[in-house]
Structure 1
Amino acid sequence: MGTETAVDGTTAVETSSSSSTANSIKAFIAGGFGGVCAVLVGHPFDLTKTRLQTAAPGTYTGALDVVKKTLARDGVKGMYRGMVPPLLGVTPIFAVSFWAYDLGKNLVYTFTPKRDAPALSTTEVTAAGFFSAIPTTLITAPVERAKVVLQVQGQGGAGKQYSGVLDVFKGLYKEGGVRSIFRGTTATLARDAPGSAAYFAAYEVAKKQLTPKGKEPGDLDLGAIVVAGGLAGVAMWSIAIPPDVLKSRIQSAPQGTYSGFADCARKTIASDGIGALWKGFVPAMARAFPANAATFVGVEFSRKALDKLF
């Protein structure tokens, strides 16, 4: 009997481990697919936000002025300038984010073995979301750096300096090595850790609220996923704008302009006032709903397809 129990226990552990690995792989792939959907829908909004955040005072009168001037100068393709870095980087970024979120949930279960209920509480989901930003930042920071540099090219009549993403990384490395490529990492983490906590928590809460009585959250239709995903994006960006402004300024400024995150905050407020920390709020919030609705539609439907495969 003792031997049989040991074998059965080992089998259970192996089965649980196999299931956990499969879920991690699915979370990784689905997250990457969702990220591609987000970039295709949201990049014009993101470009508008970044240009508002980094332009000299008086360059633009608002978000619509950014769009008008960009279209006049570069046409529709100008609204997609700088899209290659996030499109190339978004698969690993979102893949790692959703994988890390899945890992964060597993860590919660590991540290709470004697649970009253299997479902995670909102606080536990928030903690898992916060954790997801830590490994993701290692990929997000350099991709965001290249994206911002490309997005602000030509702003204020400046000439074109880089021909593409590889040229950006080559130039940044010449400028200051790996450190230059990863400039803005602290600001990225300051934006994404609380932002991701709000992001995943809002999505799970919205899903529960939208689930009809007698149904499971996994059975939601397309419309409900769109609403829950959009609200998740709004929740994230409602708190992420100030650190995002500082991140954009740090990553777009000439080398030596700021000594760090706190120095950028101090100089930004001193020169442009506290209101500068909310520059780009309108395009960010305009992007938040459709881009993140697209993200979770991509994630949910690709995850269901993967569940049928393995």
Structure 2
Amino acid sequence: MGTEAKSEASHVRFVGAVAGIGSGLTKVAVGHGFDTIKTRLQCSPPGTYKNAVDCLLKTVRNESVFALYKGATPPAVGWAAIDSLLLGSLHNYRLFLIRHGLTETVPGTDVKRLTLVGHGIAGLFAGWTSALLATPMEQLKVKLQLQLQRSTSDRQYKGPIDCIRQIVRAQGVLGLWIGFTGSLAFRSNFLWMFGSFEALMRAFSKLDGTPYAISTPMANFMSGGLASFVYWIMAIPADNIKNRMMATPHNLPKPSFTATARQIFVEGGLRGYYRGLGPTLLRAFPVNASALWVYEGLMRVLGAEKTRH
């Protein structure tokens, strides 16, 4: 391979990570307030809130509207890094699977593209990869979101740095990765996210040349939003378990995945695994539609659109 070809290959491998930064920042800007309500519904003692609206009203009444953005600093920094890792690795897993023959021919052409199964597998491995970075970031977010005190001086954690310091002091550096098994289970569901996103994109492409045709950016937006419903319906049980594990005070024994799952079932039965689904679905469409619209748009601008399929 010549120098120019090597440079092009390096560019293609790198652009997914760059585009992922834009996706991560978009998610925080659009969706953090919804996420705070979801986390409180999942991790507060049963009976604390009647529903999502009650949680919203009590939060704003008791702590001000800015309480909806508690814990926003770790996501603002972290989600850019997490989505850079998630979407950058997704892009490279897609390329790897294409190179190793998990392809099909686009109907009516001789062009090869990654199969839908391949898109799902790439999403699965990208989700697992991103769990390495997402686990400590999400633990900080959960712990900061669950502080109900209006005044910073009354809170256990004064901010993300203080939260890190207290966790490491009590449990060592590996304490930041409590909930890792829950994170792996939760992020496995990116299989459904990116598999369904690709299926929807192909469905929209079949509308080309009809009165119902829409632009590629609009197809990205709609596919991202609709795929997020598939993702969250599949992922919300693992999300509940993950967040409960991360919410465990650091002066208590480290929680296990199975023990946490049993505790949720004892408290709320099967419905307990779906706490927070309402605000999650309200948040899902605008957040993921916007994030994938930004990601796919940046991929086109950066010249990597030809490698996507």
- What TM-score comes out, normalization by structure 2 length? 0.88
- Equivalent residue number for residue 6 of structure 1: none
2:38 pairs with 1:49: yes
Checking the alignment, whether the CA contact within 8 Å between 1:59 and 1:156 is kept in structure 2 is no
TM-superposed CA distance for 1:304, in Å, is 2.8
2:144 pairs with 1:150: yes
Question: Structure 1 residues 156 and 279, CA, compared in 2 at 3 Å: closer, same or farther?
Answer: farther
Moved more, 255-264 or 107-116: 107-116
Deviations 1:28-48, CA, capped at 9 Å, x for gaps: 111110111111101111111
Moved more, 104-113 or 231-240: 104-113
TM-superposed CA distance for 1:185, in Å, is 0.7
Which is helix-richer, 1 or 2? 1
2:234 pairs with 1:245: no
Unaligned runs of 5+ in 2: 106-110, 305-309
2 CA distance for matches of 1:94 and 1:268? 29
Amino acid at match of 1:105: R
Secondary structure, counterpart of 1:119 in structure 2: strand
Amino acid at match of 2:122: A
Deviations 1:69-124, CA, capped at 9 Å, x for gaps: 11112222111111111111011100111111112112212332886561111111
Question: Structure 1 residues 39 and 113, CA, compared in 2 at 3 Å: closer, same or farther?
Answer: closer
- Equivalent residue number for residue 307 of structure 2: none
Q: Bigger radius of gyration, 1 or 2?
A: 1
Checking the alignment, whether the CA contact within 8 Å between 1:51 and 1:155 is kept in structure 2 is no
Aligned length: 293
Secondary structure, counterpart of 2:303 in structure 1: helix
2 CA distance for matches of 1:87 and 1:144? 11
Amino acid at match of 1:261: F
Task: Compute the RMSD of aligned alpha carbons.
Answer: 2.4
2:157 pairs with 1:162: yes
Moved more, 262-271 or 119-128: 262-271
* Seq. identity, %: 28
Match of 1:173 among 145, 161, 168: 168
The aligned runs of 1:145-294 (5 Å cut-off) are 145-154=139-148, 159-193=154-188, 195-211=189-205, 212-213=207-208, 220-255=215-250, 256=252, 259-294=255-290
Checking the alignment, whether the CA contact within 8 Å between 1:101 and 1:128 is kept in structure 2 is yes
Checking the alignment, whether the CA contact within 8 Å between 2:103 and 2:114 is kept in structure 1 is no
TM-superposed CA distance for 1:206, in Å, is 1.1
2 CA distance for matches of 1:157 and 1:84? 17
2 CA distance for matches of 1:155 and 1:247? 24
1 CA distance for matches of 2:47 and 2:115? 47
Checking the alignment, whether the CA contact within 8 Å between 1:55 and 1:155 is kept in structure 2 is no
- What TM-score comes out, normalization by structure 1 length? 0.88
Unaligned runs of 5+ in 1: 1-9
Amino acid at match of 1:198: W
